[in-house]
Amino acid sequence: MSVQNKYKLSFSITFVVIVLLSSFWMTSIPSSGFLNFEENQSIQFEFGYIRPSNESKNLEEIFESIKDVTYFAGADRLSNNDNGTNLSNFYPFFDDLSTELSFNEKYTYLPYDMTGKYGRSVYAIDYANAKMLFLRGDELISQNAASYQIEWLKSMIETSDQLYHIIFINEVPQSPWFWDVMDELQINLVITENELYSPSSLVVQEPSDWASAFVDHWDVWNFSSNSNIQTLLFDAVDVELTVTALDLSGEAFDQMSQNLSLFQYDEFVQTNTMIPIQSLWRYHQGSDQIRSTIPEGYDITGENPITERYQIPSDDWRSQDYDDSNWNVGKGPFGHMNQKIPLSINQKLPKLNDSVTYYFRKTFDLLEDPLQIDHLFLYMTFEDGYVVYLNGEEISRDGMKVGLTTHNTLAQPNETYIYEEKEITNHRDKLVVGKNTLTVEVHRSHPKSSNFIFDLSLIYEKNK
Amino acid sequence: MKMKICMMMLCIMMLQGCGNQSSQYQLIASIQFTNQHLMIDNGDSFVWENSLITINDEYTYEMEYIPRGKTSIPYQMFYNEKGEVYQPSILKVRNVDINVPKFDGKNDAVFTW
């Protein structure tokens, strides 16, 4: 028997092993990160709103051009010239150009008579964590808060488990009662043919044509004068909703975003903003020249947090009396991002070679007695880590180890947090009537990291 | 017999080489580099105070505090006795020494990379 035949099996096994091992050589084996078996818990949805315009394509062309989106909403008349198009993923609102009867006959896939009065022309659908409600403005304008549609709307919202409540309506009533109902039901978007209304408090990014609406604490994006806007793309992940305006060629050219964790108006609670988002701040890069003291009794290891109140000297950068007149002034959010986020940075900050930290200072006035405050909140936008001080005393930190920090201290690697709520009510006694100072140190997790961002708002609630 | 004694002596010498150079406390630390920074991870349960960091037995930088966790120090902070700054574009880091004097009030603590 030849050697070749004698070791045939051995040669074959060796060959297979070599082939298998060579696949490792050709594969990029992950060298960092970790394996996570947890399922992604975030809830997402995406849908489009098609706007009627003179140059509009037919629906089939629009469905084809935005393939990532399954469901679209728009005015009934958009489908008038689309005899051959499958409309089952199109959700129309009644625009008074068809009769109710013809509307019912055209959209047989819509739920029938949810209200018991308006056939298919008033209805609601649930999609992921959103409830979309399609109303008839022509009926509402001449009515009042006790109207049939409003009663139905209230019942739908009260029994809803959805996070987002979005109303589509051809024409919006200007009467105050309608907007009182929108506030009461915590509707987060009202969309008409040419306008998008949002509660002001939810908006974290404004589009270019953004203005105050005709009712208090609502803003409006009026796109009637912008013929370029063909479609709005709604993209939500958990509490963050981004609305992107697409032009006729499907290119994005404007954007707004909401954060539903900022819902503020509870009828029993009065909410006051001491520092709004996108405020002006004094800022300075970290340096050995910026003095930071260690208060008496402070454990620099952080294992025994200081419980006594303490004072810091006026030449400490966190002090209320610190002279920051030579610091730069800029409007938040600050930083530089290498990845897409639903915020635009107003003040770009250069990457530093000498330090991994930026310091921020903001002075604000409080006219009320701090002890009357029921809840105190920070809404933090940051990457990677921060420490916040109120009148020189620490009130919040995230992404940083406990204890002493210097401007050379690196944060722990973190994702980008956008207006993350931090309840700091137990620090309300650090507020004083009159002038207060909030100071923040923001650290990156690596001297070469490409992402760095900071902004915040400081809000308090008082029971009425 | 002579052979056995020689072997025992050799073993003793080798085993001595495996131990600590002295009875000084060894800091718990790890070192990382970028082309412009030295990154030190203080894994001890205490903050290192008045630490002297030396690169290549020549370039030194004294830091008042190195807190727990990671600290980034630009190479431009390191100078030799002649007052020359450490130049990472020319020199390669061969060794890093950290000395924390009297970390417990009496003894020094050291780390060598």
Please determine, looking at this structure, whether the domain spanning A270-463 carries the CATH number 3.30.450.70. Answer: no
Phi, psi angles (nearest 5°) of residue A90: -110, 125
Residue A201 scores a pLDDT above 70: yes
Q: For chain A, which residues make up each domain, given as ranges? A: 44-264, 270-463
Q: Which residues pair with B62 in a beta bridge?
A: B52
Tell me which of A425 and A302 has the higher pLDDT.
A425
Which segments of A247-310 are extended strands (E)? Answer: 252-259, 269-275, 280-285
Strands of A130-135's sheet in order across: A123-127, A130-135, A164-169, A189-191, A195-199, A218-222, A210-212
SS3 of residue A93 by DSSP: strand
Distance CA A78, CA A237 (A): 29
The set of residues, in sequence order, having a beta carbon less than 8 Å from that of A417 and lying 6+ positions away, is A380, A381, A382, A383, A398
Tell which CATH classification among 3.30.450, 3.40.50, 2.40.160, 2.60.40 matches the domain B24-112.
2.60.40
pLDDT over 90 percentage in chain A: 42
Strands of B25-26's sheet in order across: B25-26, B109-112, B96-100, B48-55, B59-66
Q: For chain B, which residues make up each domain, given as ranges? A: 24-112
Residue A449 scores a pLDDT above 60: yes
Tell me which of B52 and A30 has the higher pLDDT.
B52
How many contacts, defined by CB atoms under 8 Å, are there between A and B?
Answer: 54
Tell me which of B74 and A201 has the higher pLDDT.
B74
CB contact A300 to B (< 8 Å): yes
| Contact state of A410 with B72 under an 8 Å Cβ cutoff | yes
The partner residue sitting opposite A409, judged by closest CB among B46, B69, B76, is B69
The residue in chain B having the minimum alpha-carbon distance to the alpha carbon of residue A447 is B72
**The pLDDT of residue A60:** 79
Q: How far is A397 from chain B (nearest CA, A)?
A: 15
**The pLDDT of residue B60:** 95
Distances (CA, A) of A371 to A376, A461, B21: 11, 12, 60
What is the tens place of the pLDDT at every residue in A64-74?
Answer: 888 788 899 99
What is the tens place of the pLDDT at every residue in A233-281?
Answer: 999 988 889 999 888 777 887 888 888 877 654 545 567 889 988 889 9
What is the tens place of the pLDDT at every residue in A318-370?
Answer: 999 999 999 999 998 999 988 877 778 899 999 888 899 999 999 999 988 99
**The pLDDT of residue A388:** 96
Distance CA A121, CA A113 (A): 8
- Residues A44-264: name the CATH superfamily: Metallo-dependent phosphatases (3.60.21.10)
Q: How far is B1 from chain A (nearest CA, A)?
A: 50
**The pLDDT of residue A160:** 86
The predicted model gives A29-49 an average pLDDT of: 65
CB contact A406 to B (< 8 Å): yes
**The pLDDT of residue A30:** 60
Cβ neighbours around A79 below 10 Å, total: 19
Residue A382 scores a pLDDT above 80: yes
**The pLDDT of residue A40:** 47
The residue in chain A having the minimum alpha-carbon distance to the alpha carbon of residue B64 is A406
Phi, psi angles (nearest 5°) of residue B77: -85, -10
The whole model's pTM is what? 0.58
| Contact state of B67 with A300 under an 8 Å Cβ cutoff | yes
Confidence of residue A121 (pLDDT cuts 50, 70, 90): very high
**The pLDDT of residue B105:** 79
